[in-house]
Structure 1
C-alpha cells in the first residue's frame, strides 16, 4: 500500500477535524481526538498544522469553500428564480447528505462569538470574509438583488437552526416557511 503524501494527510486531518469540531465545537474538541481519528500521533498532526486553531481555521475555510462551490455549481448559467430554486435544492442535498457541514457552520459561528468575547477579532474577520464571499456567490445569480439575497440567506440560517435543533420536517415550526415555498425545500426529508 502506498504511503500518503503530506497533502493527502492534511486532507485526512481536515475531514476528521470537521467531524470532531462539528460534534464538539472548538473548545470541546481535542487535538488528541483528531489525531486518533486520522490515525496519526499528535506530534505528526502538529507537523501538518501549527496548532488547533490552524486546524479549525482550515476546516472553516473548507466548509465555506464547499458551500460556495455547492451554490456556484447549482446556479451555473441560471438567474433569478431558477438559480434560487437550484441553490435551494443543492443545499437540501447538503443538509441530507452532509450533516457535519451544517453542524460545522453552526460551530464556526459559535467560535467567532467566543473568540470575540475574549478580544480575538482576527478569527472573526476570517470567518466574516468567507461568509461575505458566500453572500456574494448567492447575490449575483439572484440578480444582484440585496433583498432576495438577504431573504435567501436568512431563510437558510433559520433552516440551519431548525435542522440543528432536530425539528422533523412535519413539525409546526416549519409552517411559517410555507409562503416561501422556494426556500422551504431546503428542509431535509
Structure 2
C-alpha cells in the first residue's frame, strides 16, 4: 500500500473511531489498531491527534459539499431543495458514521473553544459555510430559505442522533406533505 492509500485508510478508520467516541474519547491507539498500523506509523502520516481529527473534519465536509453539489447540479428552487434533502437523508441512513462524525465535530468545537483552542472551531465553521454556500444558490439565493433548509437539516441530525424511529410523531412536521406547505422549503 502506498503512503497515500495508507493515509486514506487511516482517515476512514479515524472517521469510524471519532464518530463513535468523539475527539476526546478516542485514542490514537484505537485508530492505529483499527487500520492495522503502529502508533508511530500513524504519527508519521499525521503529526498528532488534532491533525488527524482535522483531516477527518475536512473529509467529512468535503464529502457533504460534493454530495450537495451533485444532488443540486443543474437544479433550482424547490427541485434543488428536494434533491439535496433526499440525498442527505439517504447518506445519513446508509452511512450513520457521517451523521455521528458531524455531531462529534460540533461537540469537539464547543469543548475546544471552552479551553481556548479555536483551531477546531475555525475548521468546522469554514466547512459549514462551504455547505451553506453550496445550497444557497440552488435554493434561490434567499438567506431565509437557506437558513430554513440548514435549520431543518440540523433538526434532522439531532432527531436521528437521538434515535427517534421513522414512524415517531416528532417526524410529522417533516413529512413530504410538510415540505411544500405554505411554500416553505424543508429538507
TM-score (norm 1): 0.93
Equivalent position SS for 1:119: coil
Measured in 1, the distance between the counterparts of 2:63 and 2:40 equals 28
Q: Deviation digits for residues 132-153 of structure 1, max 9, x if unmatched?
A: 1110001011111111111110
Aligned to 1:117: 114
Q: Deviation digits for residues 57-93 of structure 1, max 9, x if unmatched?
A: 0000000000000000000000000100000110111
Deviation at 1:95, TM superposition (A): 1.2
Aligned to 2:5: 8
Q: Give the one of 125, 133, 137 matched to 2:134.
A: 137
Aligned to 1:181: 179
Q: Give the one of 151, 156, 163 matched to 1:154.
A: 151
Aligned to 2:86: 89
Measured in 1, the distance between the counterparts of 2:123 and 2:61 equals 11
Measured in 1, the distance between the counterparts of 2:75 and 2:24 equals 41
Matches within 5 A, 1:22-61: 22-61=19-58
Equivalent position SS for 2:25: coil
Measured in 1, the distance between the counterparts of 2:178 and 2:64 equals 22
Q: Deviation digits for residues 121-168 of structure 1, max 9, x if unmatched?
A: 122111111111110001011111111111110000000000001000
1:72 aligned onto 2:72: no
- Is 2:14–2:31's contact at 8 Å kept on the other side of the alignment? yes
Measured in 2, the distance between the counterparts of 1:40 and 1:114 equals 29
Aligned to 1:62: 59
Matched residues, number = 182
Deviation at 1:177, TM superposition (A): 2.4
TM-score (norm 2): 0.94
Measured in 1, the distance between the counterparts of 2:9 and 2:43 equals 14
Unaligned stretches of 5+ residues in structure 1: none
Unaligned stretches of 5+ residues in structure 2: none
